[in-house]
Amino acid sequence: MENPEQILIRMKEDILLRGLSKSTLESYPSKARIFLEYCKRPAKQLNEQDIRNFLCYLINEKKVSPATVNTYSAAIRFLFAVTFNRTLNYLQIPRQKKRRTLPEVLTREEVSSIIESCNNLKHKAMLTVIYSSGLRISEAAALKIPHIDSENMRLFVEYGKGGKDRYTLLSETCLHILREYFRIYRPKHPDGWLFLGAHNASHITYRAIELAFEEAVKRTNITKHVSVHTLRHAFATHLLEDGTTLLQIKELLGHSSIHSTTVYLHLANLTSDVKSPLDNSPAYGSLAIIANG
């Protein structure tokens, strides 16, 4: 299995046999190819030092982000552990520590202004369902008409991230907009896609949704660095502010771990009714009264 093309074909088979996602099927072999081309040595001779050299090359010369380095690392680990069936000393191949930055937060008013600035009903329906149900862009693109469960006021997400199905909220306001959209556009496709792409050949593309969002933002006064995914963040943040528990939000978002959901504790405005202990101190509480007076 020395031929790089044969190696990559076998790697794709390994990914398919494990039922991993389409994005993994596209990403891992392409990154493994770059690694093999960089090493320029027979596969059976490659070891931890080759991996370390390659990752250092990505960091020092290519200046890629920690997240990208970790994606390359994951692809190479899969290549060795599964396709080569070889054991690695993972202590010699550490993952990059990523700085955890907080995403931008849109207020409810800003979300409304983006949705209302859409120049057609189809775009308005797409962005409304993303925000009101907390969808990823891929989940919105893959929505089907039978996924709208108006009887139980819930929306079915089929094969979300990690290959997981789930139910999330269906807003009454969103349902009204979706019905109006359906009445005017009458989407028809053998696979039942709700939002059709060019020439109605398949579902709408991710890029088409991104462009609709970007054009809508341009028509507002919003200067924050936002993307379609910001609507999903807004959904979770606003739910938390309204008293929804983290566990409920975790299930609605389809997170595998509650750790991913806790970021919204930092985004939500949970301090409006909370008073600092200094202001409740007998020694200093009177100063607050004087200051307010």
Decide if 278 is inside a domain. Answer: no
Q: Please count the structural domains in the chain.
A: 2
171 lies in the same domain as 217: yes
204 lies in the same domain as 64: no
Query: Three-state DSSP class for 157?
Result: strand
Decide if 280 is inside a domain. Answer: no
Return the number of other C-beta atoms located less than 10 Å from residue 83's C-beta: 22
Active site residue 233: no
pLDDT of residue 171: 95
Give whole-number Cα distances, 114 to 27, 52, 70, 91, 170, in Å: 32, 45, 34, 47, 20
- Tokens representing 181 are 């959209």
Decide if 98 is inside a domain. Answer: no
Decide if 99 is inside a domain. Answer: no
pLDDT of residue 211: 96
Active site residue 229: yes
Domain of 228 in residue numbering reads as 108-267
153 lies in the same domain as 233: yes
135 lies in the same domain as 64: no
Q: Catalytic residue among 136, 233, 238, 250, which?
A: 136
Consecutive 10-residue averages of pLDDT for the chain (293 residues)? 87 93 89 96 93 95 92 96 92 82 88 96 97 95 96 93 90 96 95 92 94 97 94 94 93 91 82 68 59 55
88 lies in the same domain as 112: no
pLDDT of residue 293: 53
Q: Catalytic residue among 10, 147, 189, 229, which?
A: 229
DSSP 278: G
Active site residue 161: yes
> What CATH number does residue 40 fall under?
1.10.150.130
Helix locations, 19-160, DSSP H:
22-39, 48-60, 66-78, 108-116, 121-133, 137-141
Rounded Cα distance between 128 and 81, Å, is 43
259 lies in the same domain as 115: yes
122 lies in the same domain as 204: yes
> Largest alpha-carbon pair distance within the chain?
81
Q: Catalytic residue among 203, 232, 233, 250, which?
A: 232
> Of 92, 125, 153, at which residue does a domain stop?
92
88 lies in the same domain as 113: no
160 lies in the same domain as 124: yes
Q: Catalytic residue among 33, 77, 161, 189, which?
A: 161
- Tokens representing 204 are 């709408």
Decide if 150 is inside a domain. Answer: yes
Active site residue 264: yes
177 lies in the same domain as 36: no
Rounded Cα distance between 162 and 60, Å, is 32
Q: Where are the beta strands (DSSP E) in the chain?
A: 148-149, 154-157, 166-169
Decide if 245 is inside a domain. Answer: yes
